[in-house]
Amino acid sequence: MADTGSKSWAATVLTLYPDMFPGSLGQSLAGKALHDKIWALETVDIRDFARDKHRNVDDTPAGGGAGMVMRADVVGQAIDHVYDADVSNDDPDKMDRRPLIYLSPRGKPLTQARVRALSEGPGVVLLCGRFEGVDERVLEARQVEEISLGDYILSGGEPAALTLLDAVVRVLPGVMGKQASGEDESFETGLLEYPHYTRPAIWEEQEIPAVLTSGNHKKVAEWRRAQSEELTRARRPDLWEKFCKESRQTD
Ligand code: SAH
């Protein structure tokens, strides 16, 4: 019989700051799922792979300039250690290689589609940069995929890794329980989500839109859909354009 779903979705994070984990991932939905072994988290301290007595992991940039660069030899050894362990812990025939991702502002922006795709695989190996980043040779030699959280610079890859894992873990089967599996949420439909309301019915003289308390499910769905479209058009013309193009293709 096929071995399905018995193994946890496995994340390994290569970092100079292992104490930053599980951090926020130890709480709430992700924390409960970690406790329930729906997913597993391991950190690897890159400094353990330093070769000299000072345990240096970085050096000055070739060509000069400010800052420091993470050394290819140290990072390369840390990566190889993770994949060697994957192969020896499992039947190599069955081993599905986990994607290796370097969190980097030069990467492809993270999308909900990529989050879903990652959640459907065996797990992920995340490399967190510090300083100016990682020696380019190791990125090329180990076929590292670069993923960015957005067009701004963080001080390190760790908060980006926590964010990526948070997004993936919440869509793993069993994590969100019986509530909607998030399929209605912003980006899943290609649109931003409609606005939400709850009690009290009147707050600071403002009422909840009447259609939502009408009990007419069809009208509610239509109202929500129209709101989603309107919000997307106004706030994210880029998404709106993509959405319109895709709906024309499926017509
Ligand atoms: N010199 C680099 C920035 C280095 S910031 C540049 O100009 O492109 C240090 C580390 O933080 C990076 O190696 C990366 O791992 C992480 N980081 C910074 N901004 C990020 C972003 N927008 N998305 C993902 N990771 C980021």
pLDDT on residue 103: 98
Q: pLDDT tens digits for 168-182? A: 999 999 999 765 556
Q: Is the pLDDT of residue 218 over 50?
A: yes
The domain locations on the chain are 9-169, 184-250
3-state secondary structure of 146: strand
> Which residues have C-beta atoms less than 6 Å from ligand 1?
103-106, 128-130, 132-133, 148-150, 152-154, 156-157, 160
Q: pLDDT tens digits for 15-51? A: 999 999 999 999 999 999 999 999 999 999 999 999 9
Closest CA to 171 of 75, 64, 29: 29
pLDDT on residue 221: 98
For ligand 1, atom 8, the nearest C-alpha belongs to 105
Distance 242 CA to ligand 1 centre (A): 28
CATH topology of domain 9-169: Alpha/beta knot (3.40.1280)
Mean pLDDT of the chain: 94
Q: pLDDT tens digits for 39-90? A: 999 999 999 999 999 999 999 999 999 999 999 999 999 999 999 999 988 7
- What is the spatial distance between Cα 117 and Cα 131, in angstroms, rounded to a whole number? 30
Torsion of CA 147, 154, 140, 83, to 10 degrees: -80
Alpha helices per DSSP H over the chain: 28-35, 72-89, 112-120, 136-141, 158-170, 217-235, 237-250
What is the CATH class of 184-250? mainly alpha
For ligand 1, atom 2, the nearest C-alpha belongs to 132
- The answer to pTM > 0.75 is yes
Strands 145-148, 100-109: pairing is parallel
Residue type, 210: A
